[in-house]
Amino acid sequence: KAAPGTGSPSKERGDCPFTQRVFLELEELGLPYTATYIQEGPNKPHWFMVKNPTGLMPVLRVGET
């Protein structure tokens, strides 16, 4: 989840505890990742909705899955 008012996608992480837990797990396991922050609400980017039709967050993508 993006920080409020920072755009979508954004480079600023918001305060979602679920997203923070994902980051903690990735860091603890030492797994490489690339983060993309999306603002909640009705204006999610089209490419995001194509890859994730439910629009729910956080999302973890592994390869094309």
DSSP per-residue letters across 12-32: SB---HHHHHHHHHHHHHT--
Angle made by CA atoms 7, 63, 14, in degrees to the nearest 5: 25
- Which of the pair, 62 or 30, is modelled with greater confidence? 30
Give the separation between CA 1 and CA 48, rounded to whole angstroms: 12
- Cα 32 to Cα 2: distance, rounded to the nearest angstrom: 20
Confidence (pLDDT) at 8? 85
- Tell me what the pLDDT averaged over the chain comes to: 88
- Where do the domains of the chain lie? 1-64
The one catalytic residue in 7, 10, 16, 48 is 16
pLDDT on residue 50:
92
Global pTM reads 0.72
16 in catalytic set: yes
pLDDT band at 46 (very low <50, low <70, confident <90, very high): very high
Report whether the peptide linkage leading into residue 45 is cis, meaning its omega lies within 30 degrees of zero: no
